[in-house]
Amino acid sequence: MSEPTVAVLGASQDRRKYGNKAVRPYRECGMTVLPVNPREATIKGLAAYPNLDAIPVPLDYVSLYVPPAVGLQLLPAFAAKQPREVWLNPGTESDELLDAAADLRPRTVVACSIVVLGRSPAEFPDA
């Protein structure tokens, strides 16, 4: 059985950002991490993708670290990729996004995905 895949939208080179902190626990939990950032070629040594459409493999999870307005624009891409779950991390959710996502096939989870993995963001220092 292959490792579960997770696309991290808003993945970042900046260790202070949660889009960076999330990559580390996903990898430690044995997941295949696919960072998504249109301005980066690599993040944490992993090839970064400019958008969800560029990811060539099926996704089990999508984890958002982008503003709600960006998440709304990405709903068609979520529907096309058909992950099992879309995780809306703190600050990425809005009533409008939740209403729009309610009709999608993937289950939407509003929670800190790092905590869902049984970890704390504090375990991943900024330096």
Task: Give the pLDDT confidence of 20-77 residue by residue, as tens digits.
Answer: 989 989 998 899 999 999 999 999 999 999 999 999 999 999 999 999 999 999 888 8
Which carries the bigger pLDDT value, residue 11 or residue 125? 11
- Structural domains in the chain (count): 1
What was the pLDDT predicted at 127?
A: 53
Give the span between the Cα atoms of 103 and 34, in whole angstroms.
25
What was the pLDDT predicted at 1?
A: 47
Q: Alpha helix locations (H) across 9-127?
A: 18-21, 23-28, 68-81, 95-101, 113-116
Greatest Cα-to-Cα distance within the chain, rounded to the nearest angstrom: 40
Sequence-distant (≥ 6) Cβ neighbours of residue 93 within 8 angstroms: 68, 71, 110
Query: What tens digit of pLDDT does each residue of 98-110 get?
Result: 888 887 777 888 9
Range of the domain at 38: 5-58+66-123
Q: Supply the DSSP symbol for 70.
A: H
| Share above pLDDT 90 across residues of the chain, in percent, rounded to a whole number | 56
**For position 81, which CATH number holds?**
3.40.50.720
* Burial (CB count <10 Å: 0-12, 13-18, 19+), residue 65: buried
What was the pLDDT predicted at 113?
A: 87
Tracing tokens 């993708």 back to the chain, one arrives at 49
